[in-house]
Amino acid sequence: MFTGLVAGLGEVSAIEKRSESALLSIKTELVVDMKVGDSISVSGVCLTAIEVGNSSFTADVMLQTLRLTTLGALKIGDQINLELAARPTDRLGGHIVQGHVDGIGEVIENVPGEKWNKFRIRIPTDLEKYIVNQGSIAIEGVSVTVGEIVGDELTLWLIPETLARTNLVQKSLNSPVNIEVDIIAKYVAKLVGTK
């Protein structure tokens, strides 16, 4: 489990494509707190570290994950959001984030303002029912508050702290982004649907 509070940025240092998977190597200072077998959120996707070196770690990425997330489009040098798994004693400053991406959205606006960026995303229509105004959502693994949802368009207001700590400031028009809706909303929808 993650909280959606990004611990740092990483840089893709190597990608080795295989027939049924890919090996992804990521350079990051967070390796000092990592060991083999640890879960880490990579731009919102839960991966397992299979090697941990002095300055980077490597993770296996299955074909299904490459198809269903933005990880399949990564290139060497790309910056990604990283978060280590939460400990039971950690503060839950964001919301419950599993690292199980529900779909890929598309950036339709990222405009700087005096205090924040107006960030708009077009989301898959099947995710609309799980999103509410002032609710929580994870974009690229970042826990953010929904400013407004109208149809399949989601508006977020990104504060300077979020812009400084994540790769969201780099997202431009038509950039794909990983989306994970609130797990509680999914459970509620399933329970209500069975009545």
pLDDT block averages, 10 residues each, the chain of length 195: 94 92 96 95 96 96 92 96 90 88 97 90 96 95 95 94 93 97 92 76
Is residue 120 located within the same domain as residue 159?
A: yes
Q: Domain of residue 60: give its range.
A: 8-84
Residue 30 is part of a domain; what is its CATH number?
2.40.30.20
What's the confidence (pLDDT) of residue 195? 57
Residue 1 belongs to some domain of the structure: no
Quick one: pLDDT at residue 19?
84
Same structural domain for residues 109 and 76? no
Looking at the fold, whether 107 and 79 belong to one and the same domain comes out as no
Beta strands of the chain (E only): which ranges?
8-17, 21-27, 39-42, 45-52, 56-62, 79-84, 103-112, 117-122, 136-139, 142-145, 148-150, 153-158, 176-181
Does residue 114 share a domain with residue 60? no
Task: Say if 166 falls within a structural domain.
Answer: yes
pTM value? Answer: 0.90
Q: Is residue 67 part of a domain?
A: yes
Contact 7, 30 (CB under 8 A): yes
Same domain, 108 and 153: yes
